[in-house]
Amino acid sequence: MDHSVTFLASATITGFVLATLLLLIDQSQRLERVSLRLPALLIASAALVGQGALLYRLGVHTDPAALNLTVLNALAAVLGLASAITVVSSFRERVEGIAVVLLPTTALTVFLTVFVPESNVPIQTGEMALDAHILISLAAYALLTLAALQGVMLLLQHRALHGHQPAGWIRRLPPMESVEQLMFRFIVIGFLLLTLALVTGFLFFENIFAQHLAHKTALSVIAWVVFAVLLVGRHVAGWRGRTAVQWTLAGFILMGLAYFGSKIVLEWILDIP
């Protein structure tokens, strides 16, 4: 393995872990007079730049028109994009509760991507339609991942409120209304990108149901229907709270099965690139 890749991976992982620790310390009640938030976000930003460089090194072959989209590479790209959105958002809004989950998870995917060998799965690109479809799909899943994490946070807040035993870190989270509004903001943007990804897939792939894509396409369409029903229910019936979170998590799980479930079965079990 290239020593520069090993060094960059180690530095990136260290940055993610250090940023997570600083955010956790900042959220504790012991250091209320000392803010470690800005240093943590800057370190996380540097780590994300390092991860981007790693993904470029590992995902692009000697042929610049081919991408190596293995399961781990794709997972690292999605979580890296979700982490980047979260870190950028954290400079303006209090979403560190998501960051302390995403950053160490992203660090784990960096470790697995670099140090766990996988067979290459090159996809010939060079066509703007295919490049756009891949990028839009990753962005959609990243945003819906953030929506799901906001939903989990909302459930934890709801349980703590009704149990009359809110933990210290729960009390430091934004109000439930703000968490829910941010969740739906991610859902709306993610839904629009998912719609665009499906449209580009149907328009630019001739055999979308015949190239080991049938399960992925079907599950993605079902996920799209779930999120569409959720948004209509929100607008017409005012769905919120546990109902909204349950629909959000259902759509997120379907999206995960559509992409990563299919890739795991094809690449790791059936050995089909």
Residue 159 tokens, joined: 């349980």
How is the chain split into domains, by residue range? 3-269
- What is the rounded CA–CA span in Å between residue 11 and residue 34? 26
Angle at 123 between CA 120 and CA 129, to 5 degrees: 155
- What is the rounded CA–CA span in Å between residue 131 and residue 233? 33
143-186 residue pLDDT tens: 999 999 999 988 888 887 776 565 555 666 677 888 898 899 99
Between the alpha carbon of residue 253 and those of residues 214, 220, 230, 250, 258, the distances in Å are 17, 10, 15, 5, 8
* Residue 241 reports pLDDT greater than 90: no
Residue 154 tokens, joined: 């909302």
Write the CB contacts of 77 (distance below 8 Å, at least 6 apart in sequence).
55, 59, 138
Q: Say what the pTM is.
A: 0.80
Q: Which residue has the higher pLDDT, 34 or 243?
A: 243
